[in-house]
A = this chain, B = another copy of it.
Amino acid sequence: MKLQVEQRLASKKINPTAMRILVLELLLQQNSAISMSDIEKGLETADRITIYRTLKTFEQNGLIHCIEDGTGIPKYALCVEDCTTHEHHDMHVHFYCNSCKETFCLPDHRIPDISLPAGFSPAELNLIVKGTCEKCTQ
């Protein structure tokens, strides 16, 4: 278990400190994207600023990606294994549930091509679908 976590950090060239292992373990347990304060609540010992910098480090090294789901509060989720630092730009769909307020990555649902007006060249796509999630529909 812990070994896998450390390997995952190492594969992204991130020093496996105690704090980073804790944060990564917490992220691995999630099935939805979580905010900085979620992480702060999930860890007894941690200082907000340390978590903030830990997430920045993870993001820069392509371990996680940041999602702006329209709430104004950034959420974080693990990238898929093979995403590289420069190309990990959320090319999949994110789903925000209006009921449980959770944000899900839908990595299998790629964003279809959009036709843009002449002169507009796209670099990055970010599609937020809001609605009701699987759990809350029942």
User: What's the tally of chain A residues with a CB closer than 8 Å to chain B?
Assistant: 36
- State the number of copies, please: 2
Q: Which of B72, B109, B115, B138 contacts A68 (CB 8 A)?
A: B72
**Which A residues lie at the B interface, using CB under 8 A?**
68, 70, 72, 74, 93, 95, 98, 106, 108-109, 111-112, 114-135, 137-138
Q: Are B115 and A122 in contact (CB under 8 A)?
A: no
Q: Give chain B residues whose Cβ lies under 8 Å from the Cβ of A127.
A: 111, 114, 125-128
Q: Are A119 and B134 in contact (CB under 8 A)?
A: yes
Q: Give chain B residues whose Cβ lies under 8 Å from the Cβ of A93.
A: 114, 116
Docked CA distance A134–B121 (Å): 8
Closest 10 A/B residue pairs (Cβ): A119-B134, A123-B131, A124-B130, A122-B131, A126-B128, A68-B70, A127-B127, A112-B112, A122-B129, A121-B131
